[in-house]
Amino acid sequence: MSRVHSFAPVADKKARALILGSMPGEASLKAGQYYAHPRNAFWSIVCRVLGARGELSYEARLRLLKAHGLALWDVLGSCVRPGSSDSAIQKSSIRVNEFAAFFRAHPGIRYVFFNGAKAEECYRKYALPALPAGCAALEYRRLPSTSPAHAALSPAQKYKLWKTIIIP
């Protein structure tokens, strides 16, 4: 099995909130784009929440996030994982992204939203303990996973919960 690596963060200096996934799946890694699997609801939910109409290019989606003060990244920088399932991540292989440097570079971030339970679990277990004390004061919120594997909620229910990413 080979090691997989996440992407660089999508963020600018105006970021006020960070959305974290766990690790890009196979379709995303192959495309070189966050949430590229056609059945992952991330982009359809986020674009709808942010008021985007119609289909947007990947680059336009990233600009939309930034325009609304949102940053996007993954908790894991790399890991060994056969397939795309978070449950297949080999715990001993986990390497987290460099959050201390990220938060120093983006001091306006006050909110962290997790795209599902695995992202939150990995962040709290592997990343948060190594961060400066001020990072504990950030507001953290787990949102339902947009993955097609998470079918416990309907798309309408997920959309309603994801509306919290709008930062006044």
Catalytic residue among 40, 145, 146, 147: 40
Question: Residue 2: CB partners within 8 Å, gap ≥ 6?
Answer: 80
97 is catalytic: no
Catalytic residues: 40
